[in-house]
Amino acid sequence: MLDLSLTSDQEQLVAAVRDFCSREFAPRIGADDRAGRHDPEIFAKLASLGLPGVCFPQRYGGHGLDYLALGLVCEELEYVDTVYRTVLSVHVGLVGMGLYTWGTEDQKQRWLAPMARGEKLACYGLTEPNAGSDVASMQSTARRTGTRYVLNGQKTWVSDADTADFLLVFAKTDPKGGSKGVSAFMLDRSASGKNALRTEPIEGRLGIRAGDVGSIFMSDLEVDEADRIGDEGDGFKIAMSCLDNGRYTVGAGATGTVRACLDASTKYAHERKTFGQEIGRYQLVQQMIARMARDYEISRLLYFKVAWMKNKGLRHTKEVSMCKQYATDAAFNAAHDAVEVHGAYGYSAEYPVERFLRNARAPIIYEGTREVHTILQGEYALGYRQDKPVKKSLPKYEPD
Ligand SMILES: Cc1cc2nc3c(=O)[nH]c(=O)nc-3n(C[C@H](O)[C@H](O)[C@H](O)COP(=O)(O)OP(=O)(O)OC[C@H]3O[C@@H](n4cnc5c(N)ncnc54)[C@H](O)[C@@H]3O)c2cc1C
């Protein structure tokens, strides 16, 4: 039986996050964004609500809610600003759920549990200066010496690179092995020498200006083999399975931007008068607002479907690609139209819609560009790509 209603736990969570965001984040985000200031307390504030552990079992420091709860939280966070959703997205979606899927029991206790309890912040370093969409062409290396590895290379455009405690990075253990030569390693900043592991922020960004995005530099950085996730050569598969989770949070978050644009635009369309009546009376304005309303419903349904598949333990690479791509395009279109609905005021920082428009651009690029997702979906539709059996998959949802 199809049931899209929320459980009482989910309803309470949404209400708590919405209330918290309106008190703690909404009043300051405009100024933080204008100043390009990253609030170092964001993660601690998210942790005060228990959000880093929302969908992990209690034995790993979590709260045992399902994967839909995570999506609902992402929608609420991004309703205020993309930066808040990004912190949770990377920490829970890209890294935490990756560890939950691929980590050994010891690794889950060492890394996932403190992450879920909100004690440690994690980032995900896949992209390099010369390897974005073409992940397998990465140049970072991890040379094995006995039971240790020596890592060298650079990661860039990494969200929370400069603030994270734990850094999940990917490097070639077999430089000639293509995608099969990649392995995954967890770095602990506190246990790494300052010269061996260095991070720095990337300045001058179009949007998400209150965020932390940076580069990671690894120079003869030694890690133990116990810090490798999965087997040697599993790194590419791990990176892709992490992206199935990250993309879900990006799609759910973008749904929040669509709703924020819809709410701002309907309010303004009632307030603003031209030629003696509210601009909402004009069909051309209604057309823009109608598209926002429709895209909100479609985006939400897409992430609900992915949540359902995650809860059931079903493979969802195709569906999450559609969800991420559709919702991020919808968010950009909604923000573009929201600026139009607001006329010149939409172009000013007096209203949030110009921030929404700048913020909406990056999610179309990261976790697979629009083109990468179009190719993936086209290949599925044409039968050139089929899901093969996977080595590990995200555990289905089981109530604690
Ligand atoms: C704000 C922000 C945050 C980010 N956070 C992270 C993070 O936390 N961790 C991380 O690892 N990365 C992160 N990224 C990086 C992001 O994932 C990459 O930018 C993205 O994967 C694209 O890679 P690229 O920039 O190298 O573009 P390229 O791969 O060089 O692509 C350039 C253009 O060519 C197109 N193109 C490439 N190949 C093809 C093809 N085969 N067919 C058709 N078109 C193609 C692309 O679609 C794009 O339009 C972030 C990026 C941004 C902007």
Rounded Cα gap, residues 333 and 291, in angstroms: 9
Backbone phi, psi, residue 208, to 5°: 40, 50
**Smallest CA separation from ligand 1 atom 31, residue:** 133
Ligand 1, closest atom to CA 368?
Answer: 21
Q: Which whole-number Å values give the CA distances from 171 to 2, 155, 163, 188, 234, in the listed order?
A: 43, 10, 21, 16, 11
Q: Which one, of 182, 216, 175, 213, lies nearest residue 199 by Cα?
A: 216
What distance in angstroms lies between residue 366's CA and the mean position of ligand 1's atoms? 6
* Protein fold of 123-235: Butyryl-CoA Dehydrogenase, subunit A; domain 2 (2.40.110)
Ligand 1 binding residues, C-beta < 6 A: 90, 124-127, 132-134, 157-159, 208, 213, 362, 365-367, 369, 371-372, 375
**Smallest CA separation from ligand 1 atom 32, residue:** 133
May I ask the CATH class of domain 240-382? mainly alpha
367 in catalytic set: yes
Ligand 1, closest atom to CA 205?
Answer: 1
What distance in angstroms lies between residue 365's CA and the mean position of ligand 1's atoms? 6
Q: Give 240's contacts (C-beta < 8 A, 6+ positions apart).
A: 317
- Mean pLDDT rounded to a whole number for the chain: 98
Q: Which one, of 126, 138, 130, 52, lies nearest residue 91 by Cα?
A: 52
Q: Report pLDDT for 270.
A: 98
Ligand 1 mutation pick, 38, 127, 155, 245, max ligand atoms within 8 A of CB: 127
Confidence of residue 103 (pLDDT cuts 50, 70, 90): very high
Q: Give 332's contacts (C-beta < 8 A, 6+ positions apart).
A: 357, 360, 361, 364
Confidence of residue 194 (pLDDT cuts 50, 70, 90): confident
Region(s) of the chain under CATH 1.20.140.10: 240-382
Region(s) of the chain under CATH 1.10.540.10: 8-121
Confidence of residue 169 (pLDDT cuts 50, 70, 90): very high
In the chain, the percentage of residues whose pLDDT exceeds 90 is 99
Determine which one of 78, 128, 319, 367 is catalytic: 367
What distance in angstroms lies between residue 60's CA and the mean position of ligand 1's atoms? 32
Ligand 1, closest atom to CA 131?
Answer: 26
Q: What pLDDT digit, counting tens, does each position of 128-165 carry?
A: 999 999 999 999 999 999 999 999 999 999 999 999 99
User: Is the model's pLDDT at 382 over the cut of 90?
Assistant: yes
Region(s) of the chain under CATH 2.40.110.10: 123-235
Rounded Cα gap, residues 20 and 16, in angstroms: 6
Q: What pLDDT digit, counting tens, does each position of 242-261 carry?
A: 999 999 999 999 999 999 99
Confidence of residue 1 (pLDDT cuts 50, 70, 90): confident
What distance in angstroms lies between residue 128's CA and the mean position of ligand 1's atoms? 10
Side-chain half-sphere CA neighbours of 111 within 13 A: 32
**Smallest CA separation from ligand 1 atom 45, residue:** 371
Q: Which residues are registered as beta bridge partners of 167?
A: 123, 187
Q: What pLDDT digit, counting tens, does each position of 210-222 carry?
A: 999 999 999 999 9
CA torsion sign for 177, 245, 217, 185 is negative
Pick the CATH number of 8-121 from 1.10.10.60, 3.20.20.70, 3.90.1300.10, 1.10.540.10: 1.10.540.10
pTM flag (> 0.85)? yes
Q: What pLDDT digit, counting tens, does each position of 258-278 carry?
A: 999 999 999 999 999 999 999
